[in-house]
Structure formats: structure tokens, C-alpha cells
Amino acid sequence: MSTPTQRVAIVGGGASGALAAVHLLREPRDRGALEIDLIDRTGGFGAGIAYGTTDPLHVLNVPAVRMGAIAGRPEHFHEWLAERGEPVAEEAFVPRGVFAGYVRDLLARAEREATDARLRRHCGEVTAIVEHHGAPAAPLELTLADGERIRADRVILALGPLDGGDPIRVPAELKDSGVYVADPWAAGALEEARRDREVLVVGTGLSMVDVALTLCEGGQGPRVRAVSRHGLVPRRHRRTLTNLRRFHIPTETGQIEPIVAAIFAQICRVSQQGDDWRDVIDSMRPVTPALWKALGTAEQRRFLAEFQRLWDVHRFRMAPAVADRFEALQDVGRIVTESNSIVSLEPHGDRVRVFLRIPGATDLDLVEVDRVINCSGAGTDLRRQAPPLLAGLLAAGAARSDELGLGLDVTPEGALLGADGTPSTRLFAIGALRKGVEWEAIGVTEIRDHSAAVARQIVRTGETEEIPLPTELRAVPAAAPTEWEAA
Ligand SMILES: Cc1cc2nc3c(=O)[nH]c(=O)nc-3n(C[C@H](O)[C@H](O)[C@H](O)COP(=O)(O)OP(=O)(O)OC[C@H]3O[C@@H](n4cnc5c(N)ncnc54)[C@H](O)[C@@H]3O)c2cc1C
């Protein structure tokens, strides 16, 4: 009897979906053919939102030597650049569009080199996945928005972040006229804004930095006022690579403060050796999921409310050249960042009136700008704003949200947990949907390892394995997850 073909559908063709396909194609198989359906709403395969930009000012926020997309080979991207005759320093921050080319090349190569495997690309939105119990062959059925149906044995959800929506109620008139830009990453979204005099950006994170640099490119463009409740702006990367090292982080209390104290103590220690806080923050990355889990739900909620903003600006940093440019524009008043809440937006001729309130103040501040651009980030509550596909899986009990509602509940290997807590053998997730469970889940470092682990499980049907440590810290013993001993 011949071994049946295994059919895997991947929903989402950003970096996560593409790397899931790469790792599936590269995974050794000793029996049976493999068919992969890679489905993306935009029809872009390998770039997604992060790497879809062609603006050379939009660079990676991780040094080249740590952006490899093959599990166990963080230096692979750096090597790939050299092979193409475009060598860069290990610590270089390369334009994100180049990284998209790398992921696409990996996918094309994996496709060419895989034996007895086929990859089909589909442009369309998956709106539903139904499991046909008792159907032994390809029991999952995916429905696309245009009515097309695809059958699969396993499905990997690589949907990217939840849609954050508008940060405040926006009058329809402002949307229709383009005075309010809901998605700065949409093709051509910033074209008109470059000719404005004054623009207000909602959000002060890395997306705001990208948008502000694009608007002010070549000394032209509007004055940019960026606001967020906290007003914190990403810190800058050092010009040299950070040193990754182990240190003791106490987790037995399940409290945030002892962890913060250990971080500060380590910063003091490494400072005496000529390093700084960046080395400590970067060194925490492989153990962050274990620290996050050790906190428990109540402390995780407190972290989100009290510490997240501070963590984010130290963890997600500006490349040095980006920071130089950004600060130079701040110095001449072209970019202003501030702590402010937007109370309301009101059309005013062909401009917009924005009512702002400084946190803690009672009086409102009124500013008039040509445009408002939303850089407020991803959605944070799946239970309130699930896209149709996830709403269907939740309603059917095939999935459940994590305790915080940031994404889906998954096993450490990425299998979805059903409403009753049973791990699925057919449905998996990679990327932002795992953030509530793991906290560190959206960077390429995690995506490559998660992709490999899910691919391995799928190909060796039924097996479950531990996710390997990122190679940078392979030397760290995979000891008790709650204790990270000093080197
Ligand atoms: C601006 C920006 C810069 C970043 N820079 C870095 C960096 O330098 N280094 C780093 O490690 N990380 C970076 N990140 C993190 C980044 O999120 C990940 O590296 C990676 O791009 C995430 O890819 P993804 O495939 O999970 O999500 P996405 O890129 O969002 O892709 C998901 C895809 O799925 C599609 N999709 C969603 N739902 C459906 C559906 N129902 N049917 C069909 N298709 C669907 C979407 O249209 C989208 O194309 C950055 C993120 C952003 C936003």
C-alpha cells in the first residue's frame, strides 16, 4: 500500500507563513509526498507588513548577523548577503526590503531542493476552517472569501498581529477624504502627507519613527507631532554588537519586582566590564518566555499596565543611523514627541482639529493639522475583535484565547488548545498569535525556531518535541525553566 500524501495549509504569507513553508520543505521525510498550500490575503509571499517596505530608510531593528531565518543558523542572512556579493558588517542594520528578498529566496530554494513536495501559492482570505471528524484523509476544510475550498491534514495559522483598528472614533468624513490615514503601511498611504505642513502621528513606537523619517526625507515634508499617552520613544542601538551572557533571574516568587531587581543588578555588573543595559536586555531574550510564564496571569496583567511601555522602548530599539537621523530632525523641531491623549478628532475644512489632554490635566489642548496618521499598533484583545477565521475557531471550541486575550492558547510546541484544553494534533500557530503565551513570539529569532518545531511535528506525525534554544545561547543548559543560573 502506498503512503498517503500529507497536505498542509498555511494561512498567512508573511515571514511566519513563508518560514513555516521553508522549514516544512527542508524537514527530512522518509515516506510520503508533501503538498503545501500557502494562502495570503495580499498575495505577497515572504514580505508581510514588516519587510514589504521598499524605503531604504526602513531598516531592520536587529543586526544582520542575528537575522538568519533558518533555525539554528542566526548568521545565515549575513552569509547570504556575502554570497550575493553584498557583504555587510555583522552589526549592520540592513534595509527591511532586502530581508524580504532573502526570505523569498529561501522559499524558492527550499521549493527547488525538496523531493516529492509541492508548494502552491494562493491569493485570498481564509474565512473559515472546519474539521470533518471521521474523515481520515484531509479532514480540515478551509474556505476562502471567494468561495474556494482547500482540504488539508494540518493547518498552520500565521496571521500576523491582530488588527488594532482606530485608536479613537474617527468621523467618516476624515476617513473618506484621506485626512485620516488608518494604515501607514498601505501602498501610497504617505504620498499626500509628504506635501502637508503639519501631521499628527498617533503612537511613538518604531512605526512612528519609520513614518516620520519617510515624511521628512530629503529635508522636505511636514512638521511631525507624535503623541502617545506615555510619550516614550524607542532607545537607540549601540554601534557594536551586544554581548549575550547568562545571569541569575529569580522567578520563584512569581513577582515582577525581583526580576527587575536582578536586571538592574546585572546592568551594574556588566557596566563595570564596559558593557551596558542593552547587553542585559538582549541576553534575556531566550528566557523571556519562561519568565513570562512564571509570572502568572495577574502579574502579567500588571506588567502590561505598568511596565510594558518601558520594556518596549528598551527591547525594540532604533538602529544607530535611524536614531541619528531622528534626533537631528528633533533638534531642528521637525519632529516633536509628547505625552498626550487624543480626546477627539473633528473635520475642519480640509484639515482636522485634534483635541488633546495631557495625562493628569483637566484642560484640553486644541491643535489643527493637515493629517492624522495611525501608528498605534496591533490589537490587544482577541476576545473583543477576532477576525472571522478566529471567531469561527473560537466559537467551534477548536481554539481558545490565552488568559490575557492577546492571542491563542497554545502548547509550547505551538499546537492550538481547544476550549476544553485539549491540544490539537491538526492546528498550529506561529507568530503574533502566540504572544500571550510566550511574550517573545514575533521576531525572526522566535519565528524561525517555532517554524522548525512545528514543521518537525507535522512531518513526523504525532510526535511532539521541545523547541530548541536559539543558537546564540545554545550553550545555556536547558535546565529548570524557572531558574537561569549565572555563567
Ligand atoms: C514595521 C515592523 C518592523 C519590524 N522589524 C523587525 C526586525 O527588524 N526584526 C525582527 O525580527 N522582527 C521585526 N518585526 C517583527 C515582525 O512582526 C516579524 O519579524 C514578522 O514580519 C512577522 O511576520 P508574520 O508573518 O507573523 O506577520 P505579517 O507580516 O503580519 O504577515 C501575516 C500575513 O497574513 C495575512 N493574513 C492574515 N489573515 C489572513 C487570512 N485570514 N487569510 C489569508 N491571509 C491572511 C496578512 O495579510 C499578512 O500578509 C517588525 C514588525 C514591524 C511591524
- The DSSP string of 103-121 is HHHHHHHHHHH-SSEEEEE
Do 436 and 404 contact (CB within 8 A), yes or no? yes
Which atom of ligand 1 has the smallest separation from the CA of 388? 41
- Indicate if ligand 1 lies below 6 Å from the C-beta of 63: no
- Indicate if ligand 1 lies below 6 Å from the C-beta of 13: yes
Instruction: Report how far ligand 1's centroid is from the alpha carbon of 41 (Å).
Output: 12
- Among 3.40.47.10, 3.40.190.10, 1.10.1380.10, 3.50.50.60, name the CATH number for the domain at 172-235+318-374: 3.50.50.60
Pick the residue whose CA is nearest to atom 10 on ligand 1: 443
Mutate to test the pocket of ligand 1, among 45, 62, 159, 214 (most ligand atoms within 8 A of CB): 159
Which strand (E) or helix (H) includes residue 417? strand 415-417
The ranges of the chain annotated as CATH 3.50.50.60 are: 6-163+380-476, 172-235+318-374
Instruction: Report how far ligand 1's centroid is from the alpha carbon of 15 (Å).
Output: 6
Mutate to test the pocket of ligand 1, among 125, 442, 446 (most ligand atoms within 8 A of CB): 442
At which residue does the C-alpha cell 528578498 appear?
101
Render each residue's pLDDT in the chain as its tens digit; 487 residues. 566 889 999 999 999 999 999 999 999 988 789 999 999 999 989 999 899 998 898 999 999 999 999 999 999 999 999 999 999 999 999 999 999 999 999 999 999 999 999 999 999 999 999 988 776 667 899 999 999 999 999 999 999 999 988 999 999 999 999 999 999 999 899 999 999 999 999 999 999 999 999 999 888 889 999 999 999 999 999 999 999 999 989 888 899 999 999 999 999 999 999 999 999 999 999 999 999 999 999 999 999 999 999 999 999 999 999 999 999 999 999 999 999 999 999 999 999 999 999 888 888 999 999 999 999 988 888 988 899 999 999 999 999 999 999 999 999 999 999 999 999 999 999 999 999 999 999 999 999 999 999 999 999 873 333 333 333 333 333 333 333 332 2
- For residue 156, what is the DSSP state? E
DSSP assignment of 184-201, as one string? Answer: TTSTTTTTGGGG-SEEEE
- Indicate if ligand 1 lies below 6 Å from the C-beta of 389: yes
Pick the residue whose CA is nearest to atom 41 on ligand 1: 126
Instruction: Report how far ligand 1's centroid is from the alpha carbon of 477 (Å).
Output: 31
Which atom of ligand 1 has the smallest separation from the CA of 432? 26
CATH architecture of 6-163+380-476: 3-Layer(bba) Sandwich (3.50)
Instruction: Please give the backbone phi and psi of residue 382, each rounded to the nearest 5 degrees, phi first.
Output: -60, -30
Pick the residue whose CA is nearest to atom 38 on ligand 1: 159
Neighbours of 39 (CB within 10 A): 25
